Every structure is written in structure tokens, then in C-alpha cells.
Amino acid sequence: MSERAKKIIEALRKNNFKAQYFDDVESALDALLNKIKVDESVGIGGSMTISQLDIPNILKKRGNEVHFHWLESTPEGIDSARLLASRCDVYLTSTNALTEKGQLINIDGIGNRATSMVYGPKKVYIICGINKIAKNVDDAIELIKNNAYKNARRLKLNTPCAVTGKCNDCDSPQRMCNVTVIIEKNPNKIEIEVLLINKELGY
Ligand code: SF4
């Protein structure tokens, strides 16, 4: 483990989060699947990392009840999945950024993911690649805004960042950056565990 990763794991633990470091995706995935019981319901927040690792399908195949709006095709199904996910035993997502002080920074358009990370489920697992690490909160927000155009293009949104690749703090009706949640320390009613992986994952 690098000195930087070691310090971040220590900082997360100091903030009362559970935190583990993994050298590779396979061992992180094994650990995650051991932590989540087959009879637990799992809500998933929009995350390229989680999708990239095919976790929703793995969980469904082994028998977990999974609520993930990316698997839905109708507006009603999408809304319902977002709500049901927030009430599951376990919530699974990544974080947009993680600071060297062990803070988790997330920016949402709707807010379902950022709020479900702090209230609703009993337990939250955050799968995070090392590319999400930022020095401090300001750098974390800059990192998120610098990468936002990738989501805007993926979702075919009509936002300036989708066109130019840069954030201009837009007033677009399709703006993705409406809710910013900074999790300083583990909230009282939930247990958050971060699985930090030594690999670039998501954006
Ligand atoms: S504020 Fe607007 S332009 Fe900036 S990243 Fe968010 S959606 Fe894109």
C-alpha cells in the first residue's frame, strides 16, 4: 500500500468510517460479496464504478433483491427504484471524490444517491478507485466538475459541459450539479464502509 493510501485509510477510520484497502478489483469484489448477505436487499446509486464491475448482475444472479434505477426502462420504474433503493438493508455506490482528510464528496442532480448515502439504509458500501482521491474539499469539487462532462455526454444532456468539456456553472434545466453533500464523519444512523481499490475506476 502506498503512503498516501495508508494515510487516507487512517483518515477515514479517524472519521469513524470503516475502511479497507485492496490492491486489485478481484479481492475487493470477493470481500464485498462476503460482507453482503444473500437475504439482504441492496439499493444501488448511479455509479459507473459499480456498473463497470458488473456488481448489480452478480448480486441479482446470486439471489439478492436489487433496486437500481439504471436497470429500469420506464420513468415510473426509475423513480420507484430510486425510492426503494433508499430503503434497502444495504446501499451500494461509489463516491465522486474522497479527500486526504477522509471526507466523502458527492454532487447529484436529483439527490437520491447523495442522500441515501447518509440516511435510509442500515449500511453503505462505497467502492472507490484511487482516481477519486483529491487533496481537499475544493480540489474534490474541481475534480468532480472537471469530470462531469463525461456523465453529461453519456446521458446526452443538454448542458454546456457536454459540448465544451468544461463546467461553466450553468443554469441549464438539465444541470447535474444541484446537490452537494460533504460527509465529514460517519453519520449517526448508518454505517459507511469504504473499499479503496488501487485502480482507476469510474469517473
Ligand atoms: S454545473 Fe452545469 S456545466 Fe457545470 S458540470 Fe454541472 S451540469 Fe456541467
Please give the distance, rounded to the nearest whole angstrom, from the Cα atom of residue 47 to the centre of ligand 1.
18
Q: Long-range contacts made by residues 145-152, C-beta under 8 angstroms, separation at least 24?
A: 145/107, 145/177, 147/203, 148/107, 148/176, 148/177, 150/203, 151/176, 151/203, 152/176
Task: Give me the count of residues in the chain.
Answer: 203
pTM: 0.95
- Which grid coordinates belong to 19? 475502511
Give, using CA atoms, the residue closest to atom 3 of ligand 1: 167
pLDDT of residue 1: 82
Picking from 196, 45, 36, the residue whose alpha carbon sits closest to that of residue 120 is 45
Distance between first and last Cα of the chain: 22
pLDDT of residue 199: 94
Radius of gyration of the chain, Cα coordinates, nearest whole angstrom? 16
- Residue 88 half-sphere exposure, CB side, CA atoms within 13 Å? 32
Give, using CA atoms, the residue closest to atom 8 of ligand 1: 161
Instruction: Point out the residues of the chain with pLDDT beneath 50.
Output: none
pLDDT of residue 179: 97
Residues 3-102+111-133+185-197, CATH architecture: 3-Layer(aba) Sandwich (3.40)
Domain boundaries along the sequence of the chain: 3-102+111-133+185-197
Please give the distance, rounded to the nearest whole angstrom, from the Cα atom of residue 155 to the centre of ligand 1.
13
User: Which strands sit side by side in the sheet containing 133-134, from one edge to the other?
Assistant: 133-134, 97-99, 104-108, 179-183
User: Which strands sit side by side in the sheet containing 191-197, from one edge to the other?
Assistant: 18-22, 191-197, 123-129, 90-93, 42-44, 66-68
Please give the distance, rounded to the nearest whole angstrom, from the Cα atom of residue 176 to the centre of ligand 1.
6
